[in-house]
Chain A
Amino acid sequence: MSMDKNQIAQRIAKELRDGFYVNLGIGIPTLVANYIPQGINVVLQSENGLLGMGPFPFEGEADADLINAGKQTVTTIPGSVFFDSAMSFGMIRAGKVDLTVLGAMEVAENGDIANWKIPGKMVKGMGGAMDLVASAKNIIVAMMHTNPKGESKLLSKCTLPITGKRCVKKIVTNLAVLEVTDKGFKLLERAPGVSVEEIKEKTEGKLIVDGDVPEVTFN
């Protein structure tokens, strides 16, 4: 059984530590906020200018002036603060954000990430992704292990234009948890019921399997 999007988010949430400032990208990363472990307090940073992002507003209480970087209406929490876009990326570049979680189209075994452009197709732009990956201390990628055609997204080298170089530290896919090391993707955990063979078969980049690989557990 591979993990669904919520389970990927739930597994990533285990990486959160008390006091972390965290930037969550659009898509699966946003779901991580639903699984913050009990007793762990984290502050969510939204790069459009908000620290301390709260949940979606109640029906009828949405405020057009209060959105997240995905342009969704959100709320504040006690201790929230607003700032402008220059300061927002200032704190990102200065390494004040402890953890960045984002999606990707491809990750290479050296930690390169591609997630902003498919040549020949519509280009939407990189938004804040290039700034985030260039500066984050710790980047976890949340993505499917393969693309809709069934091709591996964990590659020896990115085929798409990259967003940043040698920056990804960890990847959580529907099949596995992997760490980017000097020697390639190290398999840390496998999704419940997924075999090491299946992960090997679906990983085009170099995969390091060291002894028994435990199954993912959830909090």
Chain B
Amino acid sequence: MNKVRKNAVDALAGVKDGDVLMLGGFGLCGIPENCISALVDMNIRNITCISNNAGVDDFGIGLLLKKKQVKKMIASYVGENAEFERQLLSGEMEVELIPQGTLATRCMASGYGLPAIYTPAGVGTEVAEGKEVRNFNGKDYLLEMAFNSDYAIVKAWKGDTMGNLIYKETARNFNAVMALAGKITIAEVEELVPAGQLDPNQIHTPGIYVHRIFQGTNYEKRIEQLTVRKRG
């Protein structure tokens, strides 16, 4: 078993035009920066991108949008990106908006071997159009299908050569659920250690879900909304 890759380009080998890619992160928090840059450099096109957000104009998924590499965006909230808005309104890009919990749980279901879930989110709204509604114990629920992707690309804090992952703080977000949902899951980590160096009690994503892993470099970790208070 050798899951370790040299860098993002090496880890992304085989990704091709038209693939469905999941990208972890929430806003700019915990995004796989190295892989996004590599996807830009490799000029992979017609991507269907499943991610909670769409980055900002000049960072994160915004870099892929700028080069018009995304054919379809599946997300829950896309509010911070002017180029996204332009491509959406001009019809250059397809967009499917789905509730955040539905997005997360559809990924989770895939990794749990469940074909679909029932959720109350979106009952009676546009989101419910064309979907099966079933009543359990007096409450309506929508049938939502599990998500699958060609590649799930996630970012973790620490990982080992077996692919086990530990996330930091709120950067766990969608990374830990999308890691479950890739036909091939690629993890970039800030620190890659030999198997045995991570405490098995502390691991968030078991390595069985992770196919390729590499240690990333030059993390910018841009802050979207810097909010602070004064001392005293």
Contact = CB atoms under 8 A, between A and B. Distances in A.
Instruction: Report whether chain A binds chain B.
Output: yes
Interface of A: 46-50, 55-74, 76, 82-86, 88-90, 92-93, 117, 122-131, 134-135, 161-165
A212 to B, nearest CB: 37
Contacts of A63: 169
Interface of B: 26-30, 52, 75-80, 85, 88-89, 95, 97, 99-105, 107-108, 119-127, 157, 167-177, 204, 221-231
A50 B170 CA distance: 7
Contact of A84 (B120, B126, B172): B172
B227 A86 contact: no
Contacts of B223: 62, 64, 67, 73
A89 B101 contact: yes
Given A48-B173, A161-B126, A164-B124, A86 B104 contact: yes
B76 A125 contact: yes
Contact of A64 (B78, B99, B222): B222
A123 B30 CA distance: 24
Nearest to B142: A134
A162 B99 CA distance: 13
A56 B228 contact: yes
Nearest to B99: A130
11 contacts: A84-B167, A85-B176, A89-B100, A92-B101, A117-B126, A123-B88, A130-B99, A130-B102, A131-B99, A131-B119, A161-B125
A65 B221 contact: yes
Contact of A135 (B30, B80, B121): B121
Given A58-B231, A65-B29, A67-B26, A82 B170 contact: yes
Contacts of B224: 67, 71
Contact of B108 (A73, A86, A124, A134): A86
Given A84-B173, A88-B104, A128 B229 contact: no
A76 B168 CA distance: 13
Contact of A85 (B27, B173, B226): B173
B172 A82 contact: yes
Main secondary structure of the interface of A (DSSP, over half): loop
B228 A86 contact: no
A11 to B, nearest CB: 24
Contact of B100 (A70, A83, A131, A135): A131
Given A71-B225, A127-B77, A85 B121 contact: no
The 5 lowest CB-CB distance pairs between A and B, nearest first, are A89-B101, A131-B101, A124-B79, A84-B176, A85-B104
A86 B177 contact: yes
A65 B28 CA distance: 9
Contacts of A117: 126
Contacts of A47: 100-101
Contacts of B172: 49, 82-84
Contacts of B101: 47, 85-86, 88-89, 92-93, 128, 130-131
A60 B230 CA distance: 10
Contact of B174 (A50, A68, A84, A126): A84
B228 to A, nearest CB: 5
Contacts of A130: 99, 101-102, 121-122, 125, 127
Nearest to B140: A165
B227 A56 contact: yes
Given A93-B119, A134-B120, A85 B225 contact: no
Contact of B229 (A49, A55, A83, A165): A55
A122 B88 CA distance: 9
A121 to B, nearest CB: 10
